[in-house]
Amino acid sequence: MGFIMLGTLKGKTALVTGSTSGIGLGIAQVLAAQGANIVLNGFGPAGEIETLRAKIAAEHGVTVRYDGADMSKPDTIDVMMNKAIAEFGAVDILVNNAGIQHVAPIEEFPVEKWNAIIAINLVAAFHTIRLALPGMKQRKWGRIINIASAHALVASPYKSAYVAAKHGIAGLTKTVALETAAAGITVNAICPGYVLTPLVEKQIPDTARARGITEEQVVKDVLLAAQPTRKFVTIEQVAALAVYLASDAAASVTGTLMPIDGGWTAQ
């Protein structure tokens, strides 16, 4: 019996949506550290993104490209995917991570926010997946990692669009896993609890308003109260799980919704 090592991702190409910040940036960095070429995506000041791109490339000796495609726009997703496939031959590892949040009671939920959350957090993954699969099938190897959420498994009040989109991603993950199971491709969702990124920092004031409590109470009594560990999950922990799912050791792991949530969804 030989041991399976996680091995290298040298020669593979990973496209991580929403990788200019937070969890996506952490995943892009750690996949580059494993040897994968990277396509970064997301918003931010052009100079900062270029510095980041050059730094990841230099640190890990891999090719790093940036594509500023807006994940709410199917046409620009199409252009991004086709450019990546033309340059690298295929997107071997697709990480659907770009996401936004808005917190409000449903009667007050702005219609344009609902539409944007469904487009970016759910519909974009349909487009990236359908466009990445032919190349993965050709190479008989592929990894699709959807960054879902504990909110793909359970709900919280005032997050109707986000919870609907994340539950949708859970269904998409399982369905595509079944369609690709015999093709050397795995499809999984990582379901983090709260990670202290700009996405969470921004929702603290809105949650305070919606619940009529202070921002400190939101952190202690809403966010960390959900997690028995009473600690935020870290970007590094989520990124390490993504590396495992991208490895050959995880070839039999498909169609799963993996909580990494300090015990939140065990309750």
Contact residues toward ligand NAD (CB under 6 A) are 17-24, 41-44, 70-72, 97-100, 120-121, 147, 149, 192, 194-195, 197-200
In angstroms, what is the minimal distance from the CB of 151 to ligand NAD? 7
**Residue nearer to ligand NAD on the CB measure, 22 or 135:** 22
In angstroms, what is the minimal distance from the CB of 166 to ligand NAD? 7
Could you give the C-alpha distances from 20 to 99, 168, 209, 233, in angstroms and in order? 12, 24, 28, 19
**Residue nearer to ligand NAD on the CB measure, 38 or 100:** 100
Concerning whether 66 is annotated as a catalytic residue, the answer is: no
In angstroms, what is the minimal distance from the CB of 5 to ligand NAD? 28
What is the rounded CA–CA span in Å between residue 116 and residue 135? Answer: 28
Residue 199: partners with Cβ closer than 8 Å, 6 or more residues away:
22, 99, 100, 101
What is the rounded CA–CA span in Å between residue 195 and residue 178? Answer: 30
**Residue nearer to ligand NAD on the CB measure, 186 or 197:** 197
The single residue of 66, 162, 194, 244 carrying the catalytic annotation is 162
Treating both helix axes as pointing N-terminal to C-terminal, what angle do 160-180 and 111-118 enclose, rounded to 10 degrees? 20
What is the rounded CA–CA span in Å between residue 133 and residue 179? Answer: 11
Other Cβ atoms less than 10 A from the Cβ of 142: the count is 24
Tokens found for residue 225 = 């109260």
Strand order in the sheet with 37-41: 64-67, 37-41, 13-16, 93-96, 142-147, 185-192, 257-260
In angstroms, what is the minimal distance from the CB of 180 to ligand NAD? 22
In angstroms, what is the minimal distance from the CB of 168 to ligand NAD? 12
**Residue nearer to ligand NAD on the CB measure, 118 or 181:** 118
Of 4, 44, 46, 2, the C-alpha closest to 24 is: 44
Query: Any idea which residues carry the catalytic annotation?
Result: 162
